[in-house]
Structure 1
Amino acid sequence: MTRTVAHRVVVLALDGVYPFELSIPSRIFGTAAPLYEVVTCSLDGAPVRTGYDFSVTVQHDATVIDTADTLVVPPFVCAPDAPRDWLPGPLAAALGRLRPGARIVSICTASYVLAAAGLLDGRRATTHWNDAEHFQRTFPDVDVDASVLFIDDGDVLTAAGAASGIDVCLHLIRRDHGSAVANRVARLCVVPPWREGGQAQFIDRPIPAPSTATTAATRQWALSRLDRPISLAEMAAHAQMSVRTFSRRFREEVGMTSGQWLIRQRVEHARRLLETTDLPVDRVAAEAGFGTAASMRQHLAGAIGVPPIAYRNTFRATAVPA
């Protein structure tokens, strides 16, 4: 069903904002127009200094937050030793304008803003891996997970660092309008519709010995046969590695075990089939490699919180923008 009123995304640019992250919501949600309308504001409507040698001019002040369906807060240059109760009065007032039922999203270290406002207490959240330990010490009531690219906790979403803002915006489009719309936006923006792994693949580690062997070809091979059982031994044999070497290299490259990765790919394939075909649930389960509908229900519930029929009813008839 096509929305008749665009979902309004308001982006709050704070002093010292990082311009790349500031531009992400406009680029991603703007590509899905007319489903979304994106407006950018500062606290007082004045130009905002970026973290570099230029400023940006915005068209709105914080009063526009009153109209937001989703508020996005990009990261900005701030003191790394900000105390737990740090939150300037004008910023607190701006956040207070967000109406009940609206979503709020932080990108990278803008999670400090949400946490200082008490919006993350008792919730699972993420931030840039390099700041995760300090963030956890500063906000002990937040359940910090530095291994993921973003966390969706309903009306509050937190993304990790920089480009993970793209991931969370695409996720929201997928959540609002289904994979077909999100995938089209990703293609138009020339970015992957869903990135494998999490922040674990970006965390500093000792550099391994040079090698031309990777698991990429084996991952592609596995994706072409998701309808069949695939064992760790089979994947290692395809990569022409020992099981031990393959397991270590897979985790280094992807940030998770091959078993976790396979389950994620099966879940995503099942979601696509539920959205784009009329196949019975048992057939979807078989095509995605779960074997039984019961197994697929369990994994879908764990990944997205809803059973297959409810997911299909929600996303099957969504419209794709021209």
Structure 2
Amino acid sequence: MRLLKGLGGLATNLDFQKLLFLYCQEPSTKNIYEFVPYKFGAFSFTSYADRRKLVSYDLLANDEHHWRLTNKGETFVGGMQDLLVAAFVARTNALRGDALVAETYRQFPYYAIKSEIAQRVLCGDKAALRSIRSSRPTGRHPRITTIGYEGRTLESYLNDLTRSGATVLCDVRRNPISRKYGFSKATLETGCERMGIRYEHLPELGISSEERQNLKTQQDYDALFANYEKNSLSRQEHSLTKIYHWMQAGDRVALTCYEREAHQCHRHCVAEAIERQFGKEFVAKHL
């Protein structure tokens, strides 16, 4: 809101998203928000979730095309002095529209790898377009990976999936709900689809929350996983074969659950079962 105030209280969606991105690359403000490469460049799903909340508080206007402070929002931030914002706005004051987008692409080419407008806004800038091409993930990626969302934002999680070359996210949670923004099923599926990653949910590969109580040591986890492999996973040949067929069709599959460390999550059991059943070429990389 202070940034928007510094911009005069009004900015187009595209301008504000790119200015917020550049502002969040400043050393003193780095990673206030994280971003993903999207169809017009750097984009933060979380910033739009916050925007919806601020609209509900009547601090931002419900404007489809602009970020705009309401009178209540102007009053709320009116007395706040922010020298960092003032300096940033002064440095970027001449950048708006295509010029602003092009500048973000030149400085941070990774965030332009999915852009639908790069050729237009960088017309003739062969060096910048070459940098974007070289930032795209190559085809040399493992066919199966695993990833947990613990300690990750939605954006950092989606970036890890993108950089790994994943084309399918396979959710192996029994109950795909989370109090953390971005990781309940509907929101995660939407985020993945917007990044060109297909979301699949195989709840039969999950472990019930009741079984995950009182896990204090690695030995506790190991006992849980031994029981899971014997009494649950051993009966899931159909689901394992389904994952195998995705990979056979050319997809690169990421298995996901909550825990950051794979050795404390049953997803590593699923990955190892695929390796045992279908061959060493399916050895998983744990992100």
Q: Which structure has the greater CA radius of gyration?
A: 2
Provide TM-score, normalisation by structure 2.
0.35
Provide TM-score, normalisation by structure 1.
0.32
